[in-house]
């Protein structure tokens, strides 16, 4: 006796159960079987189990990496004079004649975003403005690719009913638009860490730091930073290359505050950093420890719990400000300021 039973003839509940066991790649393969299955999957939008997504973008290729069910998958979309070459995880190449590689990438990535309902652990986007294999020569043609992709990403993220959730987001970029087309549309209630790095090979910092620091995603994160480059091999390197950042600690001592401050004071790129803490350690209050190491602070007469020290930058017109505010939410802040921002009755230390 013959049977006409197939996936498409299964009841919706049963087919949904089948889809719940599929990973993203298998679901996409099933969509291509027939129109009915594609329409069912597009209507149901099964939840993806992808936990990490990474993108690398330049003018000639885009690399998409993601981890699902403990397996790392990699797909590369490359420019070809006849169209687009897609290289899958098995290194099998497929030439799609007459197709633009960035558009083929977006078609796949848009589907991935549609199915992503749970929170990611990591989301990384790297705009490769400089060619690492060609003495970091600037890729002048990347804007033709990245501008179009950014418009699509921004439109997609801003139109989501529920913002894209990720615990950690990293953006390696050269321009403010590359950050602001993505970061403001990430769920601020979920993000814990934000890392922004200038493109490797860049010499100028083109980020609008105050605009980034004013984002809810930055304010509600607990460990974030903006760095000058991507070659950070140790924690000390990350401090030396920090432009701005914030950190939450359970306890903090005066020695650590002064040590980090000295690194910021000797940095040519530093602008702003905050450390939130619950209590001091090492004996006595944190303010007392800082007075012992730095001398008497400036008191403005209004904020009685705030103590501030000012230091002159070597060979620069700016002043380095270190402040400890022990009221309410305790915070130590470091900031590069202009000389006219220093109160007239405050001393600037050498």
Top-level class of domain 1-46: mainly alpha
pLDDT at position 301: 75
What is residue 184's predicted lDDT score, i.e. its pLDDT?
97
Report domain extents, the chain. Answer: 1-46, 48-230
Average pLDDT, the chain: 85
Q: Check residue 62 and give its pLDDT.
A: 95
Neighbours of 63 (CB within 10 A): 18
Instruction: Give Cα separations from 52 to 28, 48, 188, 241 (angstroms).
Output: 18, 11, 18, 26
Judge if pTM exceeds 0.75: yes
Q: To 10 degrees, what angle do helices 35-44 and 24-31 make? A: 140
Neighbours of 243 (CB within 10 A): 22
DSSP code, position 242: E
Q: What is the mean pLDDT of residues 158-173?
A: 94
Mean pLDDT along residues 288-315? 90
Residue from 104, 68, 110, 107 nearest 89 by CA: 68
pLDDT (mean) for 1-26: 61
pLDDT average, residue stretch 202-221 = 88
What separation in angstroms does the CA of 288 have from each of 152, 298, 332? 53, 14, 14
Quick one: pLDDT at residue 317? 85
pLDDT beyond 80 at 194: yes
pLDDT on residue 29: 65
Banded model confidence at residue 23, pLDDT cuts 50, 70, 90: low
**71 falls in which pLDDT band (50, 70, 90)?**
confident
Higher pLDDT, 143 or 2: 143
Residue 98, judged by CB atoms within 10 A of its CB (0-12, 13-18, 19+), counts as exposed
């Amino acid at each position: 006796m013959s049977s006409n039973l197939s996936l498409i003839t299964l009841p919706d509940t049963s087919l949904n159960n089948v889809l719940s066991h599929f990973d993203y790649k298998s679901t996409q393969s099933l969509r291509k079987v027939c129109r009915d299955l594609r329409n069912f999957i597009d209507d149901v939008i099964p939840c993806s189990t992808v936990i990490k997504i990474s993108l690398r973008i330049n003018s000639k290729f885009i690399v998409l990496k993601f981890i699902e069910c403990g397996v790392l998958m990699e797909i590369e979309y490359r420019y070809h004079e006849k169209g687009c070459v897609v290289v899958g995880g098995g290194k099998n190449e497929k030439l799609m004649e007459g197709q633009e590689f960035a558009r083929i990438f977006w078609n796949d990535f848009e589907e991935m975003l549609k199915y992503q309902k749970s929170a990611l652990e990591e989301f990384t986007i790297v705009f490769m403005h400089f060619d690492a294999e060609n003495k970091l020569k600037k890729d002048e043609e990347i804007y033709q690719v990245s501008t179009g992709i950014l418009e699509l990403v921004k439109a997609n993220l801003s139109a989501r009913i529920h913002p894209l959730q990720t615990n950690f987001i990293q953006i390696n970029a050269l321009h403010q638009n590359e950050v602001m087309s993505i970061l403001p549309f990430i769920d601020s209630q979920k993000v814990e860490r934000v890392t922004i790095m200038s493109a490797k090979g860049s010499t100028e910092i083109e980020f609008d730091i105050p605009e980034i620091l004013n984002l809810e995603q930055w304010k509600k994160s607990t460990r974030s930073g903006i760095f000058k480059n991507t070659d950070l091999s140790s924690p000390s390197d990350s401090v030396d290359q920090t432009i701005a950042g914030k950190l939450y600690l359970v306890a903090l001592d005066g020695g650590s505050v002064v040590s980090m401050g000295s690194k910021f004071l000797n940095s040519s790129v530093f602008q702003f950093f905050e450390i939130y803490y619950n209590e001091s350690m090492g004996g006595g209050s944190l303010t007392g420890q800082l007075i012992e190491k730095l001398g008497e602070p400036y008191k403005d007469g209004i904020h009685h719990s705030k103590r501030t020290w000012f230091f002159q930058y070597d060979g620069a017109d700016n002043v380095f400000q270190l402040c400890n505010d022990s009221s309410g939410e305790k915070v130590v802040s470091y900031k590069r300021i202009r000389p006219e921002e220093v109160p007239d009755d405050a001393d600037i230390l050498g």
